[in-house]
Amino acid sequence: MQRLRVEYSRGEPVQYLSHLDMIRLFERAIQRAEIPIAYSEGFNPHPKLAFGPPLAVGLLSDQEFLDITLGQTMDPEQLCRQLGRQMPGGIVLKGAAAVPDGVPALMAVIERATYHVRVPVAGERLDAQIRSFLEQTEIRVRREGKKGPEDREIRSGIHKLTGGVVPEGIELRMEVRNDNDGSVRPDEVVGAFLTFVGMPVGGGATVRRTGLLARRGNELVSPLELF
Amino acid sequence: MLRQLLQEQVLRRVTKPARYLGTEWNSVHKPWESVKVRMAFAFPDIYEVGMSHLGLQILYGLVNDQEDFLMERVFAPWVDMEEEMRTRGIPLFSLESGVPAGDFDIIGFTLQYEMSYTNILNMLDLGGIPLLAAERREQDPLVIGGGPCAFNPEPLTDFFDLFVIGEGEEVILELLAAVAKAKEGGRPDRRQLLHMLAQIPGVYVPSFYKMSYLPGGAVAGIEKTEADAPDRIRRRVMGDLETSYFPERPIVPFIEIIHDRIMLEVARGCTRGCRFCQAGVIYRPVRERSPEQLRSQAEQLVKSTGHSEISLTSLSTADYSEVEKLTRSLLDRFGPDRINVSLPSLRVDAFSVDLARELQRVRKGGLTFAPEAGTQRLRDVINKGVTEADLMAAVTAAFEAGWSNLKLYFMIGLPTETYEDLDGIAHLAREVANLGTRIRRGKAGRGVNITVSTSSFVPKPWTPFQWEGFEPMDSLREKQRFLQSRLRDKRISYNWHEAELSFLEAAMARGDRRLGPVLRAAWSKGCKFDGWAEHFRFSKWAEAFAEVGLNPGDYAYRRLEYDERLPWDHIDTGVNKSFLRNEHQRALEGVRTGDCRVERCPGCGVCSNLGVEPVVVHGGSDAAAQG
């Protein structure tokens, strides 16, 4: 058994796939690429794939991770090449590395995600606005949950927020909580910010996940730097 | 530009945006300018339904394998997407190039079921293409149709330039080549082009024929108005599946579709001769593929798709002569790679269950059997060669193998049906439940669960029952209530299809050209996705009929006379009308007709009329005898 951690990015137009679609896509690509993947035990064995935190429908991403457990060893570069040839347009495998035994699963160590969000609104004095936005001790948003709308506090999950003016409008760059117990969604931060500064909240934002951060002792590092 | 608009503004606002991407694995993106003729394959339902259709994959592969042609896909957008498109003025577009449907040379609609007709009109309208063939301009695409409903295309003739009768892979390249030639030779006008295309066998140009009607609704006559149009349009059929085109690289959808697996077509056609079944007639004769070819196709498909399930498809897969050998060899080959093999439907016998047991190591889900009628008498009438003993053997095998959820499928409103036959349904259901309780007693798992499902018999053209009427809706509802009361048992649940939908299906199935305006009226009242319970509005349809001054009952309920002209008499499936009439007579006498695979030829006429013969791979009689 060998575990390989694959890094990939997701662009247009496959940004519109759901997490389940992504799982299916990788399972089929692995099958086509004849990667010697390992299967779980039991009556209904399934291929051993472990993804990082799901990427919502519509989001682009520069950096996603996936652990593939193999039944026999394989050179990570070779896997990348072989699997890369089976990827539909928009998904680029950026690299792979063998994961030593004992390294925890992606979902167990990833704590934060970083996003760049471009919003087509005119903005100025962003720095000052962001500063006062972050001075709030709590920021409440409503999220449509499975059991109806829920009220959530997101201020404590916003670790960094900066912004700037770009040709399409403004860009907000954030580092937010993203772990098993709860995540702050980039659109919630943007919505709350726009409401706070009195700008219209409409659709049309482009959201790009730029990275994922995992815990290593006292620091947060890329999931590739854990081993 | 359209793609960019979708990408940046539209797709983020709709449900399941991945329906509209068009970049799935194995999708074909040819440079628009690199080909001579461009055709859109249009499926008048949503992506998940259309992508589950094997015919699409076959024609898509075949056309795109040609240097001079391209084919792209068009589906009915779901209602939220349609709203976005209409608001923004986005026309119906092809998935691959994001090109407006109206820019193609040809739009080919597949006509799989009658209740998709309003979606066709809606799609033409969304594409900015004039609904009426007569109003199309030179730059508009040819709108063509094919598939099972093309065997009585009359209700659709207002909207179509031509229909292809029979197997599309036989005709499509001839059609595209003719259009290419016409374009090269300085594009003749529409009418000239239609004259050229009408010379291709199997092509029906409805505007070259005139219908007249008798008072009371029957057809008086079908007259051709153009000397060079054929008197009857004969179905195109492939002599042999073995040498036919096979798509090696089918598209692999991103999202989950209805049939999300490899479809390995083991045979076309069916020899059972059920008297209600249209597919059993229009796909004659049976043509099986050899196990060797199927194994190599499975190999290619697994490699090119990465699917983890192979479904052996055909009208009646358990009848495939080498089904046991084939499934066993596929299991041996692909089992270690964790690829499952499955059967889409089971015959009602122990043999089929044994096969299913072998295929499914884990008994998830249930098994479905279709005895179709509740008594032996009625099963003989419909020529469903199933006995109560067959059914009991099948369900015994299923319960013993560990299944506890079984579904039994019946039709109500069949010709000659009485309440005794309905009692028969209840009796069978209870017998099955009792048997299950006995066998499953003390075994692991939950209790026995039998679902009885009834649909309403719809008389279809080209079947021995084409002359029969649809049972009045009130009487169907009465029968449904009766069954409901007779099936009160906590182990049995009963569900039924709404009579209204079947009633309209019956009206359309045997309809004529006078229904064109009704379809149009129904569509303009907002009817679409009629096959979807949440969208079906019977009252709108009733209004549409009333507006046009027609009574749907005149189409659905009327028993037709043997000697009257039928709206589809100018279509020729190769099956003799005299055979169908004879079969109808035998039905009324309760006399069975044998399976032409194992018994003597019942003389339907297809083989001699079309110059084909059944293709059955070796070992045929053995396998059938086991059934």
pLDDT digits (tens, 9 = 90+) for B374-416: 999 999 999 998 999 999 999 999 999 889 999 999 999 999 9
Per-residue pLDDT at B362: 63
Residues in chain B: 627
Sorted by sequence, the CB contacts under 8 Å of residue A217 that are 6+ apart come out as: none
pLDDT in tens, B242-279: 999 999 999 999 999 999 999 999 999 999 999 999 99
B508 with B153: CB under 8 angstroms?
A: no
Sorted by sequence, the CB contacts under 8 Å of residue B572 that are 6+ apart come out as: B165, B232, B233, B234, B235, B609
Q: Which residue has the tokens 């590395």?
A: A97
pLDDT in tens, B433-475: 999 999 988 777 778 999 999 999 999 999 999 999 999 999 9
Q: Which residue has the tokens 């990082």?
A: A52
B351 with B398: CB under 8 angstroms?
A: no
Per-residue pLDDT at A85: 97
Chain B residue closest in CA terms to A204:
B9
* Beta-carbon contacts below 8 Å between A and B: 72
Partner B, chain A 97-116, Cβ-Cβ below 8 Å: none
Tell me: pLDDT of B364 over 90: no
B536 with B501: CB under 8 angstroms?
A: yes
Of B442, B429, B566, nearest to B510 (Cα)? Answer: B566
- Interface check A226 vs B, CB under 8 A: no
- Interface check A32 vs B, CB under 8 A: yes
Per-residue pLDDT at B363: 60
Question: Phi/psi of residue B207, each to 5°?
Answer: -70, -5
> Among A47, A57, A88, whose Cβ lies nearest the Cβ of B24?
A88
ipTM surpassing 0.90, yes or no? yes
DSSP H/E element including B528? none
Chain B residue closest in CA terms to A19:
B255
CB contact under 8 A, B11 and A16: yes
B410 with B425: CB under 8 angstroms?
A: yes
CB contact under 8 A, B17 and A57: yes
Low pLDDT (below 50) residues in chain A: none
The nearest CA of chain B is from the CA of A27 a distance in Å of 8
CB contact under 8 A, A58 and B302: no
- Quick one: DSSP state of residue B392? H
| A interface test, pick of B6, B16, B25 with most A CB neighbours within 10 Å | B25
Q: How far apart are the first and last CA of chain A?
A: 17
> Among B8, B306, B362, whose Cβ lies nearest the Cβ of A28?
B306
Chain B residue closest in CA terms to A22:
B254
Query: How would residue B188 be classed by pLDDT, with cut points 50, 70 and 90?
Result: confident
CB contact under 8 A, B13 and A14: no
- Interface check A28 vs B, CB under 8 A: yes
The nearest CA of chain A is from the CA of B13 a distance in Å of 8
- Interface check A90 vs B, CB under 8 A: yes
CB contact under 8 A, A86 and B303: no
Chain B residue closest in CA terms to A28:
B306
Per-residue pLDDT at B625: 37
> Among B7, B255, B364, whose Cβ lies nearest the Cβ of A21?
B255
CB contact under 8 A, B255 and A32: no
Helix, strand or coil, per DSSP, at residue B521:
helix
Per-residue pLDDT at B619: 57
The nearest CA of chain A is from the CA of B17 a distance in Å of 6
CA distances from B164 to B152, B156, B233, B479 (A): 11, 13, 9, 39
Tell me: pLDDT of B627 over 50: no
State what percent of residues in chain B have pLDDT above 90.
89
DSSP H/E element including B201? none
**CA-to-CA distance for B74 and B100, rounded, in angstroms?**
10
Helix, strand or coil, per DSSP, at residue B590:
coil
Q: Which residues of A touch B23 (CB under 8 A)?
A: 13-14, 88-90
The nearest CA of chain B is from the CA of A183 a distance in Å of 21
Give the pairing type, strands B267-268 and B287-288.
Answer: antiparallel
**CA-to-CA distance for B418 and B241, rounded, in angstroms?**
42
- Quick one: DSSP state of residue B6? I
Cis peptide before B285 (omega within 30 of 0): yes
* Residues belonging to chain B with any Cβ–Cβ distance to chain A shorter than 8 Å: 3, 7-9, 11-13, 17-18, 21, 23-25, 252, 254-256, 302-308, 337-338, 361-362, 364
- Interface check A169 vs B, CB under 8 A: no
Q: Which residues of B touch A13 (CB under 8 A)?
A: 3, 7, 11, 21, 23
Q: Give residue B450's Cα distance to chain centre.
A: 27
Per-residue pLDDT at B621: 44
Sorted by sequence, the CB contacts under 8 Å of residue B276 that are 6+ apart come out as: B372, B382, B411, B414, B457, B459, B460, B463, B465
Cis peptide before A13 (omega within 30 of 0): yes
Mean pLDDT of chain B: 94
Q: Alpha helix locations (H) across B549-605? A: 552-556, 577-589
Q: Which residues of B523-547 are buried (b: 16+ CB within 10 A; e: fewer)?
A: bbeebbbbbeeeebebebbeebbee
> Among A43, A86, A90, whose Cβ lies nearest the Cβ of B362?
A43
For chain B, give percent helix, strand, coil, nearest 5.
40, 15, 40
Q: If 0-12 CB within 10 Å is exposed, 13-18 middle and 19+ buried, where does residue B482 land? A: middle
Per-residue pLDDT at B351: 86
> Among A13, A24, A27, whose Cβ lies nearest the Cβ of B7?
A13
Tell me: pLDDT of B624 over 60: no
The nearest CA of chain B is from the CA of A128 a distance in Å of 30
Chain A residue closest in CA terms to B8:
A204
pLDDT in tens, B425-434: 999 999 999 9
Chain B residue closest in CA terms to A34:
B303
CB contact under 8 A, A204 and B9: yes
Look up residue A98 and give its two tokens: 């063998």
DSSP H/E element including B546? helix B538-548
CB contact under 8 A, A28 and B307: yes
Give, in degrees to the nearest 5, the angle at Cα A14 between A13 and A16: 90
- Quick one: DSSP state of residue B242? T
Q: What is the mean pLDDT of residues B178-204?
A: 94
Q: Which residues of B touch A31 (CB under 8 A)?
A: 302, 306-308, 337
Query: How would residue B319 be classed by pLDDT, with cut points 50, 70 and 90?
Result: very high
**CA-to-CA distance for A26 and A40, rounded, in angstroms?**
16
Tell me: pLDDT of B536 over 80: yes
pLDDT in tens, B19-65: 999 999 999 999 999 999 999 999 999 999 999 999 999 999 999 99
**CA-to-CA distance for B120 and B122, rounded, in angstroms?**
5
Q: Which residue has the tokens 């055909």?
A: B314
Give, in degrees to the nearest 5, the angle at Cα B476 between B474 and B482: 105
DSSP H/E element including B463? none
Q: If 0-12 CB within 10 Å is exposed, 13-18 middle and 19+ buried, where does residue A41 land? A: exposed
- Interface check A147 vs B, CB under 8 A: no
Chain B residue closest in CA terms to A32:
B306
Look up residue B413 and give its two tokens: 């409103």
Look up residue B367 and give its two tokens: 């098994």
DSSP H/E element including B298? helix B291-305
pTM of structure? 0.95
**Single-letter amino acid, residue B397:** A
- Quick one: DSSP state of residue B286? P
**CA-to-CA distance for A109 and A213, rounded, in angstroms?**
8
**CA-to-CA distance for B442 and A6, rounded, in angstroms?**
49
Helix, strand or coil, per DSSP, at residue B71:
strand
| A interface test, pick of B13, B21, B51, B309 with most A CB neighbours within 10 Å | B21
CB contact under 8 A, B9 and A203: yes
Q: Which residues of A touch B29 (CB under 8 A)?
A: none
- Residues facing residue B265 across a β-bridge: B313
**Single-letter amino acid, residue B23:** T
DSSP annotation string for A139-200? -EEEEEETTEEEEEE-GGGEEEEEEEEETTEEEEEEEEEEETTEE--HHHHHHHHHHHHT--
Q: Which residue has the tokens 């509802």?
A: B477
Q: How many CB atoms lie within 10 A of CB B567?
A: 25
Per-residue pLDDT at B620: 44
Sign for the pseudo-dihedral over CA of B194, B200, B204, B210: positive
**CA-to-CA distance for B18 and B255, rounded, in angstroms?**
7
Helix then strand count (H, E) for chain B reads: 22, 19
> Among A14, A29, A43, whose Cβ lies nearest the Cβ of B361?
A43
